[in-house]
Amino acid sequence: MRTPNERTVLVTGATSGLGRALAGRLAQSGSRVLIHGRDARRAERVRAEIAAATGADRLDVLIADLAELRQVEQLAVDVRLRCDRLDVLVNNAGIGSGAPGSGRAESPDGVELRFAVNYLAGYHLTRLLRPLLTASAPARVVNVASAGQRPIDFADPMLTRDYLGTRAYAQSKLAQIMFTFDLAEQLRGSGVTVNALHPATYMNTAMVREAGVSPVDTVAQGVQATMQLVADPGLDEVTGEYFHGMRACRALEQAYDERARARLRELSDKLVEQARG
């Protein structure tokens, strides 16, 4: 792994919560940080705040609404235009289960919203940036998932029946982990590692507060766990793992089912192609 001041890191969803705190920690360490957000003014304000707090001057702002795959593709183009290397991609952007009683919503591409933002955007972005990551090896992909996991119902993956925000969220997070395991296998031997984690439990973030849940862990705990996957030299050769906080752990059983992962890949590619028209 490269030293912090040699490292370029893209953090999606970096304007609040864990992503915002992680971007600050990375900047403080001396890394170049690509701060992704969907609101330009908010992202620029975060950049200015991190610069003032850390003295960092290698902070770039990238704007995209990850609910829309066309914007995901433009984000990948923008990264490639700005950077000749990418050492770490942190797929952190996501939306929670929503306020109690909130209903089902779809992305502009017609995909169930939590599946679209929490999983499909990262799936597509990572594949688009794969050549850059491979050329930058040693490199890492870190997928911020959750201990809240639920099997994917391939008969109704968009949850058109009996919708619950908690179910949609948990399904999208398991999909992230399934993708993590697949990509790790595909990239084995390339110098690019791929791991997922549950950073901490009910951190004090807007997502948790919206759900009406009392915080349990701190954002600082989540940053510590995520930084381990980003920067710990002891994990240089570790790939295809799911971490609960600081420890490698076992995910829900469907994540280890190769046939289920193949069905998820097929579904994901179909949704991407449909969005392209």
Tell me the C-alpha distance between 245 and 222, whole Å.
Answer: 7
Measured in whole angstroms, the distance separating CA 52 from the mean position of its chain's CA atoms is 26
pLDDT confidence of residue 203: 77
pLDDT confidence of residue 200: 87
Q: How many domains does the chain have?
A: 1
DSSP H helix total and E strand total for the chain: 9, 8
pLDDT confidence of residue 131: 98
Measured in whole angstroms, the distance separating CA 192 from the mean position of its chain's CA atoms is 16
Whole-angstrom Cα Rg for the chain: 17
Write out the E strands in the chain. 8-11, 32-37, 59-63, 88-91, 139-144, 192-198, 241-244, 247-249
pLDDT confidence of residue 98: 83
Question: Residue holding tokens 């439990």?
Answer: 201
- The answer to whether 155 touches 100, Cβ cutoff 8 Å, is no
Residue-range definition of the domain harbouring residue 158 = 4-276
Tell me the C-alpha distance between 102 and 125, whole Å.
Answer: 28
pTM over 0.85: yes
- The answer to whether 132 touches 79, Cβ cutoff 8 Å, is yes
Tell me the C-alpha distance between 69 and 114, whole Å.
Answer: 13
Task: From 96, 90, 97, select the one nearest 62 (Cα to Cα).
Answer: 90
Helices 121-135 and 258-276, axial angle in degrees (round to 10)? 100
pLDDT confidence of residue 211: 62
Task: Count how many residues are written for the chain.
Answer: 277
Tell me the C-alpha distance between 34 and 264, whole Å.
Answer: 29
Per-residue pLDDT of the chain (277 residues; tens, 9 = 90+): 678 889 999 999 999 999 999 999 999 999 999 999 999 999 999 999 999 999 999 999 999 999 999 999 999 999 999 999 999 999 999 998 888 778 999 999 999 999 999 999 999 999 999 999 999 999 999 999 999 999 999 999 999 999 999 999 999 999 999 999 999 999 999 999 999 999 987 776 767 777 667 777 798 999 999 999 999 999 999 999 999 999 999 999 999 999 999 999 999 999 999 998 7
Tell me the C-alpha distance between 183 and 21, whole Å.
Answer: 27
Which CATH number goes with the domain that contains 36?
3.40.50.720
Two tokens, residue 189: 């031997």
Two tokens, residue 111: 């995909």
Q: 59: part of which helix (H) or strand (E)?
A: strand 59-63
Active centre residues (catalytic): 169
